[in-house]
Amino acid sequence: MLELRNISKQFASRQLASDLSLCVAAGEIVALLGPSGSGKSTLLRIIAGLEPAEQGSVWFDGKDITQWPPERRGFALMFQDFALFPHLNVRDNVAFGLIEQRVAKRAARERSQEMLTLFGLANHGRDKVWTLSGGEQQRVALARALITAPRALLLDEPFSALDAELRSSLQQEFRQRITAAGMATLLVTHDEAEARAMAGRGVRLVEGRLQVLW
Ligand SMILES: Nc1ncnc2c1ncn2[C@@H]1O[C@H](COP(=O)(O)OP(=O)(O)OP(=O)(O)O)[C@@H](O)[C@H]1O
Ligand SMILES: [Mg+2]
């Protein structure tokens, strides 16, 4: 269980989070909506440990992890932009997280190939990422996020660059894969239909506070 307790954060004089609390259970997807600039990405960065909160704490499975560096938290982030490394092929993009954890290259590549097979990309391991379609690239990005078996998954508008048809098919696929992997997942999106299709619960961040939508 991922838990935010009484988080406050401001930039300049704007209050992005004001005594904000939220729980996400293992295997649960919670959607985070809210106007542009309301602080959604900032909140994901606080959870990931990339940005400090002014007040409050982040907990995971009953432990206060507020002071833990990002790598110790073991969370995966997936952003729409700069998702993949253009200089690496598909297999090495997916293997990246394991190699960072000092898994031997050969073992990491084998595991990467298994993930690619699971994601329907078995024949693309040696391709440059930019030769893949948008949907294929997003699958590679999710495979890369999941390969280290993260304890929580933070998705920041993962489908915003895709066309409507591809979006809806990937939404279903991602939802199933995430639920099967059993991770606490927070999904930031501007699209309420997407949020409802993927998430059992939805909240909206407005002026530093969370409103329950469903
Ligand atoms: N490091 C920073 N220093 C100063 N201001 C920042 C910093 N990071 C973000 N901000 C400001 O905080 C506000 C919230 O930004 P954030 O990216 O979290 O919003 P968002 O809800 O993700 O918006 P969008 O939906 O457009 O992605 C913005 O006004 C932004 O300019
Ligand atoms: Mg954002």
Query: 7 with 66, same domain?
Result: yes
Q: Which amino acid is at 37?
A: G
Tokens of 14: 């704007």
pTM: 0.91
Q: Are 147 and 94 in contact (CB under 8 A)?
A: yes
Three-class secondary structure of residue 121 per DSSP: coil
Which residue has the CA at smallest separation from atom 13 of ligand 1? Answer: 37
For residue 39, report the distance from its CA to the centre of ligand 1, in Å: 5
Which residue has the CA at smallest separation from atom 8 of ligand 1? Answer: 42
Query: 48 with 17, same domain?
Result: yes
Query: 68 with 171, same domain?
Result: yes
Residue 79 lies in a domain: no
Number of domains, the chain: 2
45 lines ligand 1 (CB under 6 A): no
Tens of pLDDT, residues 41-92: 999 999 999 999 999 999 999 999 999 999 899 899 887 665 789 999 999 9
Last residue of a domain, one of 133, 149, 165: 149
Residue 13 lies in a domain: yes
Q: Are 152 and 185 in contact (CB under 8 A)?
A: yes
Residue 80 lies in a domain: no
Last residue of a domain, one of 109, 133, 149: 149
- Please report which confidence band the pLDDT of residue 178 belongs to, taking 50, 70 and 90 as the band edges: confident
Domain assignment of residue 209, given as a range: 1-74+151-214
